[in-house]
Structure 1
């Protein structure tokens, strides 16, 4: 296939084909191409397009079965051919245009002999697909728009041509795996297990909360969930290794429950379960068979605001210090939602102690006094908000410890 120099090779080849038509054959923008008063043909590459027919597979012969190679960059080149007669005479220009179009008509395909030696190292003459030259009909509107972009150049007799396809070889390395010598343990081939696999459809959180919190019971909904050989796997972008939890017993075919660990049971839990979105899946392990996984669903785990200081402040610029759990890592995105305002943190301090809380500092500028209506705070970590609402009662209520009063 061709190198990136193939574009210049095509232009230079067209210039060589038309070299006998006029005294001067240029390859410039029509706005600056005209030089002198003699006969002149100008070849201008004004646009390139992708040829989608070659975009999804490598060229024949590039790979063998089982190998993977990246497809080439397939380009269609759009040219504008302009004729300038001697002393800008229209009759002379029309004669030049007729000769140029006749030559291109007689060369619908660029042969390797036409391309070889025009420019070095393009390899265009060696590509599998032949390079074709076809007329490109430009409407009056398209031609007018094209010439209006040439910095007030005076229109001259012009026509369009399309050259395709130029295949520029990808520089990314191909993958050539070794042949398979053994299929599985003892060359026994794939393991086939009869029966349907577990499948997840959604999650249900405690008291219809929008997300889970540490210590909550989470209900998994789906099909074929009653297997005793299944564990629940949690994966998070901030964790190097997944977390596996065994679900509770006596699950039904469509529901499975599990208990998230609570901070009261493990003081270092805040450093092990970062807030944010987890990928949750089921892993089934049966005796004598390899483990396999179900589909995945997303589980949001909310941060929890432990303390707010101060909880009452005068109007104006207010500096709030918040402690939260789980701990926040340096890579996580954090914001404070102060009613309907989004505040970025001034500082985030997460101690090395895995049992400590993360301390965040925020500055609320121009806070307006509302003594009768406290501001509700939510901490957003990686797109998941803390829950400032108590859902356990008949009617949901805002939690007083998650509010700040501005006097």
Structure 2
């Protein structure tokens, strides 16, 4: 998701695309501004060749309105809806000497429209190029789940007349664009109730049956230890399928945060229908979040084949809480430090679920296993904690015992 700086980030990115093209395509001396229509042609500032990009209107996006945050709000949780916005820009070209003797402004407008036509979608690279400080948590538009699209709008003569008349500015040939969608995340914490420990007796998972078997290596399911919803580093994961035996068998783990798949060799005892693989306790190279896994099988005399992919989630693990008993300061604020595994990348979304509230982690600039949370307005008491990274929660329920219980190592006392 994006924060409240997303509107400014979009405007800056569009301006950068225009200025970059003008500077490299032989249009020397072109100034790209983002001023209101009545201030765009201020002789005290700009009197030469100029392209002005003016944000004249914002409007809620109907498709995203009142939707929960994807991958961040789960069933049974309540969060403030997103603020989805469509942005409307007016693109206007000006020329020195008022287009005499050549219609220079027409050339500039055509070039500017060509630039937006060549960039119908703002890629993460476009945004990072326009915002050198994009690695700072202040700017996160490039991490937005929905890409920002640029669409040329057809405004009627009446619409143009009313718009320019509002600013009491002389009309210049212009074109209008809709830029959507910008998803601004609410700063209000989500309500996250504790999970239910006991399941009903008839609560069953899906059953998959098939009478037609592929002749190629194929995966059918992934089994996690103790029927957990997520795996942790160090766990042994069971992969079911058929035609999985081979001379060389490698399990591939893929995550959007990782540049390349992680390759892990299975534990001994591979059969044609089952593979077991231990997730290495390598905190620095893994990330918490959602993964897809596949198996590459090389059989004697046959080329290597890669199976279909199945998804699973890797949960973060709270190794330590500092301190476990904390006293509120004079302002009613407490600071908790979490030591976690695997390490957290700077662009990952990290939140602490304290009781039934969500608290975002303090900003980070490097990969780390140490997270700081500052919590205000909390009442004294004992709280169970969960760490949520990229939509995956730490495992609060201990299912290695019967009946299952909440993990006492994930509890903190606030005085």
TM bucket (normalised to shorter chain) is 0.3 to 0.5
With the length of structure 2 as denominator, give the TM-score of the two structures: 0.45
What TM-score do you get using the length of structure 1 for normalisation?
Answer: 0.46
The structure showing larger relative contact order (alpha-carbon pairs under 8 Å, at least 6 residues apart) is: 2
Determine which structure has more spread, i.e. the larger CA radius of gyration.
1
